[in-house]
Chains A and B, each alone.
Chain A
Amino acid sequence: MLTEALLIALWAGIAGVDLFDVQLHIHRPVVSGLVVGAILGDIKTGLITGATLELVWMGMVPLAGAQPPNVVIGGIIGTVFAILSGQDPKIAVGVAVPFAIAVQALITLLFTAFSPIMHKADKYAEEANTRGIENINYLGIAILFVMYAVIAFLPVYYGAEYATNIVQKMPTWLTDGLATAGGMMPAIGFAMLLKIMLKKEYFAFLLVGFIVVTYFKLTLVGTAILGLAIALYDFYNKKSSDDNTQFKKEVRTNGI
C-alpha cells in the first residue's frame, strides 16, 4: 500500500499545482479518476467514479477568486474510496465532499498566510531583484505541491483499509441514501452555474437544451452545436440590425 499511497500523493501534488497554475486541467476528477484507477489497478471503476465526481463539481469553478470545495482532493479521495471499498461510485461522492470542504478551508488559510510575503516582494521590486520575485513564485508552487501530496497521502495510507471496514458495517439505508444523494448532487453544480448565468432573456435557451435531451435524447455534443447555431444566428442578426440603425442615424444627420 505504501507504493500506491506515494504514487497517489505524487499525483495529488501535481494535480494540486495544476488547479491554480499551468491549468492543463489534469486535476479534474474525470482525469484523476483514470490516473488513480491506473495506480490502484482498476481503471474501469476509476473512470466511472471520476466521471460521477466530475458532474458534481461541474459548476464549482473559482469565480472571482471564491474557493469552491476542493476539486483535486475530492476527485482523488473519492476515486480511492470507490476502488478500495468496492462500493457504488455514487457513495464515493458522499465520502469525497467532506474531505473537499476541509481542504477548501485550508486553501483559504494559505491564501491569507501568503499575503505578508507580498511585502517581501515589494522589497525585491525596490531593489530591482528579479531573481527574488521569481523565487517567491517558485516557493508558492512548492508549498502547494507539498500540501496536496501530504493531504492525499495520509487518508490513503492510513484510512483506506479502515474505509472498507466502515462501509461494510454501515447499514444499507445509509449507503443507499448516500448513493441517492450522490445521484442528486450534480444539481448543486448546475444550480451554481445558473445562479451566475441565468437571466430572464436566457431562460428560453435553458429550456431548449432541456427539451431536446429529455424528449429527443440528443447527445451533449449535439446540444452544444444547437446552442452554437442559436448563438451565431443571434450574433449576426443583432449585428445587422445594429448596422441598420447606425446607417439610419447617419442618413438623418446628413439630411439635416
Chain B
Amino acid sequence: MASKTVPQISGKLTKKDLWRMAVRSFLLQASFNYERMQAAGWLYSLLPALKKVKKSKEDLSSAMKRHMEFFNTHPFLVTPLIGIVAAMEENNEDPNMIRSIKVATMGPLGGIGDAIIWLTLLPITAGIGASLAIEGNIAGPILFLLIFNAIHAVLRFGGIFYGYNTGVKAVKTLRTGTKAISHAASIVGLTVVGGLIASYISLSTPLVVKAGQAQVAIQTDVLDKIMPNMLPLGYTFLLYFLLKKGMSPTKLIGITILIGIVGKFFGIL
C-alpha cells in the first residue's frame, strides 16, 4: 500500500536514521513533566533527523525550539508521527503546517494507543500470563513478555517506516481509521473484561440460613441457582458506579479492605 505513495523527498534521511529515531523513541518519557509532558523526549527522538537536515545553526536552533513545545501522545504509537514529521522537516515544509499536524495527530494517536494497548493488548496478554503464573507456572511471565513485545516491536519499528513513507498522507489515513479501529478494539477488550470478571474476582458468602429443619446455603442454594459469579459481577458494577460518581480509586481500595475485614469478622464473607 505504501510503496506507491513515497513522497518526493530530497532523500537525505537513510533507513539507518529512521532506525535510530525509533530506538531513541524508547526514551520518549525520560524527562516527563507536567508542564511540557513528553516535549524534551520528543525532541530527543527527532534529533538524528534534525541534525542531518538542518545544516545551519540557525535552522537547527529554530527547529529545536519548535519541537520543545508541549507534546503528549501514546508512547508506543509515537513513531508514525516521528516518521511524518521527519519527512516534513527534511522537505522544509512550513513550520506552522508541521506544528498543526503534530498537534492534530498526537491526540487521536493517544486515544487509539490507550484503546488498543493499555485497554486491550495489556489486559489480554497480562491476563493470560497471570492465569498461568497463578498456578506456579513459570511460562506465565515469559509468554506475557514475548507476546506483548512482539506486538510492541511491530508497532514501534513498523510505525516509523509507515509514517515516513506515507508522509503527510498518513495523517488522513489515521483520522478516517481512528473510529473503526478503536470500535473494534473496544469489542475485543470488553469481551475479555467480561471473562476476567467471571474468572478472577473471588467473592462468595459462607452464610447458611436455618429455617427449622432445613438449611439453606446462600451461595450454593440461592445465588448460584440464579447466576454463578453474581457477587463478583455485582461488586464490579458497584465500584463502576462509585467511580462514575467521581470517587477515587484510592478510596475504593480503602472501602474494599474495610468490607473484607468487616465481612470476615461477622462471617458474611
Contact = CB atoms under 8 A, between A and B. Distances in A.
Interface of A: 20-26, 28, 30-31, 33-34, 43-44, 47-48, 50-52, 54-55, 58-65, 68-69, 94, 97, 101, 111-115, 117-118, 121-122, 124-128, 130, 133-134, 136-141, 173-174, 176-188, 190-199, 202, 205-215, 218-221, 223-224, 226-228, 230-232, 234-235, 238-239
Given A136-B31, A182-B260, A228-B188, A210 B133 contact: no
B256 A184 contact: yes
7 contacts: A25-B144, A31-B145, A62-B118, A181-B261, A191-B237, A193-B189, A206-B190
B40 A180 contact: no
Nearest to B54: A128
Interface in B38-73: 39-41, 43-44, 47, 50-51, 57, 60-61, 64-65, 67-68, 72
B217 to A, nearest CB: 18
B193 A181 contact: no
* Majority SS at the chain A contact face: helix
B180 A136 contact: no
A-B pairs with lowest CB-CB distance, top 9: A209-B194, A181-B260, A227-B191, A177-B261, A183-B202, A191-B239, A114-B33, A223-B195, A115-B35
Contacts of A206: 190-191, 193-194
Instruction: Please tell me the size bucket of the interface on B.
Output: 35 or more
A228 to B, nearest CB: 5
Contacts of B152: 23-25
A29 B194 CA distance: 22
B196 A205 contact: no
Interface in B188-228: 188-203, 227-228
A234 B186 CA distance: 12
Interface stretch (B3-11, B14-22, B134-142, B159-167): B134-142
B12 interface: no
Contacts of B76: 23
Contacts of A195: 240, 243-244
Contacts of B261: 173-174, 177-178, 180-181
Given A130-B47, A187-B201, A227-B188, A117 B33 contact: yes
Contacts of B265: 173, 177
A190 B196 contact: yes
Contact of A140 (B30, B39, B190): B30
Contact of A191 (B184, B185, B236, B262): B236
B35 A118 contact: yes
Contacts of A101: 250, 253
Nearest to A61: B118
Contact of B65 (A52, A125, A188, A238): A125
A28 to B, nearest CB: 6
Contact of A44 (B27, B136, B259, B264): B136
Contacts of A211: 194, 198
Nearest to B33: A114
Interface string B148-172: 1100100000000000000000000
B194 A205 contact: yes
Interface stretch (B86-94, B95-103, B119-127): B119-127
A177 B264 contact: yes
A23 B29 CA distance: 10
B30 A58 contact: no
Nearest to B131: A220
A206 B138 CA distance: 30
